[in-house]
Amino acid sequence: QEQNRELRERLEQLKKERNAIILAHYYQRDEIQEVADFRGDSFLLAQKAAETDAETIVFCGVHFMGESAKILAPNKTVLIPDERAGCPMADMVNVDGLRKLKAQHPNAKVVTYINSSAEIKAETDICCTSANAVRVIESLDAEEIIWVPDKNLGRYVQEKTGKKMIIWEGYCNTHDMLTVKDVYEMKAKYPEAEFVVHPECRPEVVALGDFVGSTTAIIDYCRRSDRKEFIVGTEDGTGYQLRKDSPDKSFHFASKFLVCPNMKVNNLKKLVKCLETMKPQIYVPQAIADKARISLERMLQVK
Ligand code: 13P
Ligand code: SF4
pLDDT at 135: 97
How does pLDDT run across 235-292, given as a tens digit for each residue? 999 999 999 999 999 999 999 999 999 999 999 999 999 999 999 999 999 999 999 9
How does pLDDT run across 180-202, given as a tens digit for each residue? 999 999 999 999 999 999 999 99
pLDDT > 90: what percent of the chain?
98
Domain with CATH 3.40.50.10800 in the chain: 2-87+263-284, 90-172+289-301, 175-253
CATH superfamily of domain region 175-253: NadA-like (3.40.50.10800)
How does pLDDT run across 160-182, given as a tens digit for each residue? 999 999 999 999 999 999 999 99
Pocket perturbation via mutation, ligand 2, pick of 168, 262, 265 by most ligand atoms within 8 A of CB: 262
The response to whether residue 215 sits with its C-beta less than 6 Å from ligand 1 reads: yes
Give the closest residue (by CA) to ligand 1 atom 2.
Answer: 41
- Of 171, 148, 167, 170, residue with least CA distance to 158: 167
Q: What is the ipTM of this complex?
A: 0.97
pLDDT > 70: what percent of the chain?
100
From the alpha carbon of 86, which atom of ligand 2 is closest? 6
Give how far Cα 194 sits from Cα of 80, 95, 162, 269, Å.
36, 40, 27, 37
The response to whether residue 87 sits with its C-beta less than 6 Å from ligand 2 reads: yes
pLDDT at 40: 96
Per the CB < 8 A criterion, the answer to whether 11 and 272 are in contact is: yes
Backbone angles phi, psi at 170, to 5 degrees: -85, 165
From the alpha carbon of 263, which atom of ligand 1 is closest? 10
pLDDT at 303: 86
* Dihedral sign of CA atoms 241, 243, 244, 248 in order: positive
Give how far Cα 302 sits from Cα of 120, 133, 147, Å.
20, 10, 17
Q: pTM score, two decimals?
A: 0.96
- CA dist 201 and 147 (Å) reads 16
Tell me the residue type at 300. L
| CATH of 90-172+289-301 given 3.40.50.10800, 1.25.40.10, 3.40.50.300, 3.30.413.10 | 3.40.50.10800
* Dihedral sign of CA atoms 165, 157, 240, 274 in order: positive
| pLDDT score of 299 more than 80 | yes
Ligand nearest to the CA of 89: 2
Q: Which residues face 166 on adjacent strands?
A: 146
63 assigned binding-site residue? no
pLDDT at 14: 98
Q: How far apart are the first and last CA of the chain?
A: 43
Average pLDDT over residues 35-41: 97
CATH class of 2-87+263-284: alpha beta
pLDDT at 175: 98
Q: Output the average pLDDT for the chain.
A: 97
Q: How far is the CA of 36 from the centre of ligand 1 (A)?
A: 17
- Of 72, 15, 10, 5, residue with least CA distance to 45: 72
